Amino acid sequence: MDITAAYTDLYQITMAQVYFVTKPNGRAVFDYYFRHNPFGSGYSIFAGLEDVLDILDSLKFSDSDISYLKEKGFENEFLEYLKNFSFKGNIRSSKEGDVVFPNRPILQVEANIIEAQIIETLLLNILNFQTLIATKASRIRYSAKDAILLDMGLRRAHATGGYYASRAAAIGGFDSTSNVKAAEDYSIPSTGTMAHAFIQSYNNELEAFRDFARIRPENCVLLIDTYNTLKIGLPNAITVAKEMEERGDKLFGIRLDSGDLAYLSKKARAVLDAAGLQYVKIVVSNQLDEIVIKSLKEQHAPIDVFGVGTNLVTGRPDAALDGVYKLSEFNDAPRIKLSENIIKVSLPFKKQVYRMLDADGMFYGADAVAIYSEGEVSQMEHPFDITKQIDISELEKEPLLELVMEHGKRVAPARTVTEISKYSQSRLDKLPVEYKRFHNPHIYKIGLSSKLKNERNNLINQHKS
Amino acid sequence: MDITAAYTDLYQITMAQVYFVTKPNGRAVFDYYFRHNPFGSGYSIFAGLEDVLDILDSLKFSDSDISYLKEKGFENEFLEYLKNFSFKGNIRSSKEGDVVFPNRPILQVEANIIEAQIIETLLLNILNFQTLIATKASRIRYSAKDAILLDMGLRRAHATGGYYASRAAAIGGFDSTSNVKAAEDYSIPSTGTMAHAFIQSYNNELEAFRDFARIRPENCVLLIDTYNTLKIGLPNAITVAKEMEERGDKLFGIRLDSGDLAYLSKKARAVLDAAGLQYVKIVVSNQLDEIVIKSLKEQHAPIDVFGVGTNLVTGRPDAALDGVYKLSEFNDAPRIKLSENIIKVSLPFKKQVYRMLDADGMFYGADAVAIYSEGEVSQMEHPFDITKQIDISELEKEPLLELVMEHGKRVAPARTVTEISKYSQSRLDKLPVEYKRFHNPHIYKIGLSSKLKNERNNLINQHKS
């Protein structure tokens, strides 16, 4: 499947047809944001931007898309428009890899309303998923501390979504992936071990280990649990490691894929060390996630490499980020979506978001949202509680939304996954630790400028009357 | 991203290099199966087969894949082999759309071991995901009874996995999708309504409804909760429905996307009926799944159409099917994978699976697994409990694994999503209702032929000694 402009919801095209007739030059501003951090996390890692920009750069309807829409009954004049469709709008965005929080714009699209609606689904689809997985990966990295992290989830991923999962995992802090295609296209280091089937194809395990170590000695990891981990697999691995030493090679590691990983890793470490194989690493896998890894670390399990699959690439248990795309301005007039639930009332106006830093250069604990045109903000107010204001005039502020696409062309240089991952880690380093803990993390605040808050309240009252 | 043969795990290629040197003509049989039905379901719906066969039909390594693997240090002779790689094996499979159960082969690959390993990841990736989603869709269909079901999950799907999710949803019983690309490629009906942004782009809701109904009168659904569902949205929708009647058009429906859907649908139905608009359907959406829909049905909520998004396309809460691919025969010798957990011991030999039917043509409650070459089976035994046997000689038996690919070429005719979906429903009709209930469904049994059980036990004992 190639991603074309038909990678969207039908209603976008239906609405586009109506706009085409009634307001073909309507100018819209949409905000992308989400309402909750996934996994009960205190933060999220924004990911997927480079993919979105790459796709938008050349997004078209194919001939077969146009034929299909003709069959669906769309009118010829509108189909002519779609034939020539391209995205010609502006995008301002948080930097990919940044630490982001709910209920503030992460990305802003400013474009003809037809274009802005047609790209909505694509944009949500890519950003929601990659942000989910980068956040999961970041949590696993936090648990795993300095251990090596290997993504091996492709077989349980959501079909080709696994390709993007591997990219997002690297952004969130994974060292390598088993996914060859993603590694190739995104320049992510690729690694792998061996499968049970390899060993089963031999009459005995030792022979299988010998062939593998002889033909693929580099980064060789022997899987030792096919028949019996400690009684058969480990002694065989030690035999082969010693044979490798005689040839001047070194066994990289052994892999445990079942049983109690804390118990087995300690036993295996002791036996390896007693055999003089202190350098042989212990690689583990089997339904790992940030919680299991945290527990293994707390038990001082001597594990060097964690291979994480299903729970990483599917973003379990949440499996989705609730990102939305809301109209905030149309033809220069602010727009709002009301709700019975005040938290779900959208923020009107084209906006900017400021991150405040404290005197040590750490994140201050609150981002401020302001109307784009108002410039520097000196006071930040609680979105709903009228008793809460903070003077922020003395704090250093970073504007977070930067122009990355103008008139449909990229204006920011493309960034590699490695660059984004390093940037992400540098930003996480500025996030105080109380936002990173797994249980009841501290809540990062979102404040509004006084002007935005007042104007929003006026709009709510206008609609109520 | 194009799917090429590099859509795999690196270790498949590493192992392939070793096989290439040591056993280039090794002939393997692998079984695809899963260990647990997702969602606590009493059954699963097998999906993804047509996609797998289509992809395998033309699977190659691209030039850039070969360059990448060269950089990774693979040897020239092996790279030459990969340049000419294609899948030339046989596949026997359950029919796509069939009702399937854990711990019995659903699909069997018989091929050169290099080919069989390189395709493993792809096969698991596509079948695990689509089976997960088709099963979820089937459960939602079971709850929703005769209501119309619309897939609208693309924005929360796992990137391009959403394309396959829409296909699998149709197989599991959804009537249509919002996903234009999937609808176009797989000939699934596509439908859609309108977004809040459409209404917000107008100064008032009535004007928005009017434009939409005038320009897109066919299957027109008005979203009535932007400002106030019962006080503003519903009266505006009724005004427009009456105006449509004057033009000879009919409003298809109104959509509720927030609030208490049972309460609001009853209120809205009463008001619509009182206005003589009995034909206007009520469409609802907002975090629906099979449990919420069951509850709405139990409350007699007068809902005609359910739009389901996130919970469908991500297969929440499970988000993954635990399908595996295990070597069962190598160069005509049976192969087994042991485990501390007897349930996880794999079944050796190339096998066939038989479904037994009772005198009424309903599924009997057990599938029997036998060695492929043994032919008709007259007695079925419990896999582990030596006290349990059943005489099945009098029961009608369907062999479930059919040859669909031979020497790498498809030998079964391609089936459309519509055909597969109808077949799936016809098979579900034969499954007794006690396997379909959500709470503690009856467990469908898997039995072994006496011969398979004895041979497996012999192999276990051989490995233990």
The pLDDT tens digits of the residues spanning B158-186 come to 999 999 999 999 999 999 999 999 999 99
**Superfamily (CATH H level) for B10-133+318-464:** nicotinate phosphoribosyltransferase (3.20.140.10)
**What confidence score (pLDDT) does residue A343 get?**
76
CA A352 to CA A334: how far, in whole Å? Answer: 14
ipTM of model over 0.95: yes
CA B288 to CA B299: how far, in whole Å? Answer: 15
**What confidence score (pLDDT) does residue A235 get?**
98
Nearest chain A CA: its distance from B279 CA (Å): 22
The pLDDT tens digits of the residues spanning B438-448 come to 999 999 999 99
**What confidence score (pLDDT) does residue B27 get?**
97
Nearest chain A CA: its distance from B397 CA (Å): 31
**What confidence score (pLDDT) does residue B67 get?**
98
| Chains A, B: CB pairs < 8 Å | 313
CB contact under 8 A, B319 and A316: yes
CB contact under 8 A, A164 and B165: no
CA A256 to CA A226: how far, in whole Å? Answer: 10
**What confidence score (pLDDT) does residue A344 get?**
81
B-chain CB neighbours of A27 within 8 Å are none
Residue B416: phi, psi to the nearest 5? Answer: -80, 165
Nearest chain B CA: its distance from A340 CA (Å): 8
Strands (E), A72-141: 90-93, 99-100, 107-112
CB contact under 8 A, B335 and A201: yes
Residue with token string 């040897």: B75
For residue B50, pLDDT over 80 is answered with yes
Average pLDDT on B188-195 reads 94
Helix axes A261-274 and A234-246, enclosed angle (nearest 10):
40
The pLDDT tens digits of the residues spanning B377-397 come to 999 999 988 889 999 999 999
For residue B256, pLDDT over 90 is answered with yes
**What confidence score (pLDDT) does residue B299 get?**
98
Nearest chain B CA: its distance from A276 CA (Å): 27
CB contact under 8 A, B68 and A180: yes
Q: Where in chain B is the domain with CATH 3.20.20.70?
A: 134-313
Nearest chain A CA: its distance from B465 CA (Å): 11
CB contact under 8 A, A218 and B73: yes
Q: What's the maximum distance between 2 C-alpha atoms anywhere in chain A?
A: 86
Strand order in the sheet with A409-410: A333-334, A324-330, A27-33, A107-112, A90-93, A402-406, A409-410
**What confidence score (pLDDT) does residue A337 get?**
86
The pLDDT tens digits of the residues spanning B337-393 come to 887 777 788 999 999 999 999 999 999 999 999 999 998 899 999 998 888 999 999
| Helix or strand (DSSP H, E) at B151 | strand B148-151
Specify the CATH number for B134-313; select among 3.20.20.70, 3.60.70.12, 3.40.50.300, 3.40.50.880: 3.20.20.70
CB contact under 8 A, A160 and B159: yes
Per-residue pLDDT of chain A (465 residues; tens, 9 = 90+): 889 999 999 999 999 999 999 999 999 999 999 999 999 999 999 999 999 999 999 999 999 999 999 999 999 999 999 999 999 999 999 999 999 999 999 999 999 999 999 999 999 999 999 999 999 999 999 999 999 999 999 999 999 999 999 999 999 999 999 999 999 999 999 998 899 999 999 999 999 999 999 999 999 999 999 989 999 999 999 999 999 999 999 999 999 999 999 999 999 999 999 999 999 999 999 999 999 999 999 999 999 999 999 999 999 999 999 999 999 999 999 999 887 777 788 999 999 999 999 999 999 999 999 999 998 899 999 998 888 999 999 999 999 999 999 999 999 999 999 999 999 999 999 999 999 999 999 999 999 999 999 999 999 998 877
The pLDDT tens digits of the residues spanning B6-19 come to 999 999 999 999 99
CA A209 to CA A216: how far, in whole Å? Answer: 10
Residue with token string 């280990």: A209
**What confidence score (pLDDT) does residue B340 get?**
73
Q: CA-nearest residue of chain B to A126?
A: B159
CB contact under 8 A, A319 and B322: no
CB contact under 8 A, B180 and A6: yes
Strand order in the sheet with A148-151: A176-177, A148-151, A305-308, A281-284, A253-256, A221-223
pLDDT band at B86 (very low <50, low <70, confident <90, very high): very high
CB contact under 8 A, B337 and A181: no
A-chain CB neighbours of B30 within 8 Å are 197
Nearest to B164 among A159, A322, A335 (CB): A159
Question: Mutate which of A3, A7, A8, A11 to test chain B, going by most B C-beta atoms within 10 A?
Answer: A11
The pLDDT tens digits of the residues spanning B105-117 come to 999 999 999 999 9
Structure tokens at A355: 């991150």
Average pLDDT on B219-232 reads 94
**What confidence score (pLDDT) does residue A464 get?**
78
For residue B207, pLDDT over 80 is answered with yes
B-chain CB neighbours of A74 within 8 Å are none
CA B66 to CA B80: how far, in whole Å? Answer: 9
Q: Where in chain B is the domain with CATH 3.20.140.10?
A: 10-133+318-464
A-chain CB neighbours of B283 within 8 Å are none
**What confidence score (pLDDT) does residue A44 get?**
98
Structure tokens at B79: 């790279």
Residue A59 identity: L
